[in-house]
Amino acid sequence: MTSVLGTNWSGNYAYGATRIEAPASVDAVRALLSGATAVRALGTRHSFNPIADSADLVISTELLRFAPVLSTEDRTVTVGAGIRYGDLATDLQAAGWALPNLASLPHISVGGAIATGTHGSGNAVPSLAASVAGLEIVLASGDVLELRRGDPDFDGAVVSLGALGIVTRVTLDIVPTFDIEQSVFEGLPFAAVEENLDAITGAAYSVSMFTTWRNPDVLDQVWLKRRAGVDVAAPSELFGAVAAPADRHPLPGISAINCTPQMGVAGAWLDRLPHFRLDFTPSNGEELQSEFLVPRAHAIDALRAVRALADQIAPLLQVCEIRTFAADTLWLSGAYETDAVGLHFTWLKEQAQVEALLPTLEAALAPFSARPHWGKVFTPDPQSLERVYPRLGDFRALAARLDPSRVFVNEFLERTALPR
């Protein structure tokens, strides 16, 4: 049968599922699971691999957008798993509240982002999944499982890869709203990164470095996102990098019209923490993405390893982003029990060439315990994943207990986290 889903966001993967449903209630999800044998949840299609595909039924979470329920006493908000971060942020801002951080794209769904361990940036700020305080999951049996932070299975169930059930509601930590001032610096010497990584990534609440690796001696841009009235003012120069004279796009020569405002002009957190505006197309067109998360202690050596491959990487690369995020306790998180550095690669849409290069890149990063991002393009290898995700065995046991019939295990998971 022909898939009724079409492709993912970037167009590099065509779904093979034969049925798609978009339930608007928990009871409707339970009804769909009755008798089902192969099911996956689908968010905003921003994964670059088959993680959300199914041999039969895909349940879209797009209508699971229940009105946010604020608890100012607990400092939490409970939302439907299908809501996009940008839409949730708008609701929170109107009520005087905020999320601690956002990813570079506000267009992704809450459920999809946390299931794959997606993150923003900031030395002291953990991943988006670490802000989860509670989950509501519909299991294959139709039972509704509610978990709260501190429950025995909680740390295994947040970054779940969609392997435990359909997440219908998520409770997130919130903080009082705040403003961000965003500034961009250009031409950061690689030698300065080697000598001053901690100072550079600690120069603001959220810091991102971008480079094409075409000149391996220089990183092209550094984006500083400072809390207005809290963090120190932007420096006049940053370890040899100079302030950009106008707003910038991470990709050289691309208009910054789709990017969030810069030049140190203060604005609400939701309008500065993402790199791209919610109401604009967030990409330079078709692309592939890979990301590898390395422990902070190995960051410089990992960067040197990537730099040594610059002549092979640059011809296939649109841009590489380097970000930090804080440790957490979530079993399948890229920052499980370690502060981490994300090495993110936005590739040209050249699937065969990128897949041919990845084993070389992954081998270069293997000595530094690099963990692949679950929603990106990487080489499936259960044994390698076991080495870098130390709680993967515990996760397999949890999945076997909650989904003994493997209803939510697709071919991708069989080749990665949940082999038979």
Give the position of tokens 């509501």: 136
> Which of these, 27, 58, 64, 34, lies nearest to 45 by C-alpha position?
58
Banded model confidence at residue 274, pLDDT cuts 50, 70, 90: very high
Mean pLDDT value across residues 367-385: 96
**What is the pLDDT averaged over residues 186-206?**
98
Amino acid 3: pLDDT: 62
91: its two tokens: 């609701």
What is the model's pLDDT at position 94?
98
Q: What is the pLDDT of residues 235-271, one digit of tens each?
A: 999 999 999 999 999 998 899 999 999 999 999 999 9
Q: Beta-strand (E) ranges in 233-387?
A: 237-238, 241-243, 266-268, 288-295, 317-325, 340-347, 371-372
Report the length, in residues, of the chain: 420
Mean pLDDT computed over every residue of the chain: 96
Give the largest Cα separation in the chain, rounded.
Answer: 63
What mean pLDDT is predicted for residues 135-154?
A: 98
> Is 90 exceeded by the pLDDT of residue 374?
yes
Amino acid 285: pLDDT:
53
Give how far Cα 198 sits from Cα of 19, 124, 193, 236, 251, Å. Answer: 49, 12, 9, 18, 25
Comparing 102-106, 116-120, 172-176, the range with the smallest average pLDDT is 102-106
Instruction: Output the pLDDT for position 280.
Output: 80
- Structural domains of the chain, ranges and CATH numbers in brackets: 69-176 (3.30.465.10), 179-372 (3.30.70.2520)
Q: How confident is the model at residue 376, as a pLDDT?
A: 97
Q: What is the mean pLDDT of residues 15-36?
A: 96
Short-list 61, 59, 100, CA closest to 83: 61
pLDDT for 280-305, tens place per residue?
Answer: 866 545 899 999 999 999 999 999 99
CA distance 189 to 22: 49
Contact 290, 92 (CB under 8 A): no
Residue matched to tokens 């499936």: 380
pLDDT at 379 > cutoff 80? yes
Q: Band the pLDDT of 2: cuts 50, 70, 90.
A: low
Q: Helix, strand, or coil here: 292?
A: strand
Q: How far apart (Å, rounded) are the C-alpha atoms in residues 203 and 207?
A: 7
User: Helices 351-365 and 299-308: crossing angle, nearest 10°?
Assistant: 140
User: What Cα–Cα distance (Å) separates residue 29 from each residue in 25, 60, 167?
Assistant: 6, 10, 10
Average pLDDT over every residue of 151-175: 98
Residue 1 has pLDDT above 80, yes or no: no
Q: What is the pLDDT of residue 284?
A: 47
Residues 186-208, mean pLDDT to the nearest whole number: 98
Model confidence at 219: pLDDT above 90: yes
Name the H helices within 160-209. Answer: 190-201
Comparing CA positions, the residue from 119, 100, 104 lying closest to residue 277 is 104
Closest Cα partner for 418 from 37, 158, 404? Answer: 404
pLDDT at 318: 95
Whole-number pLDDT of residue 5: 81
- Average pLDDT score over residue span 271-286: 80
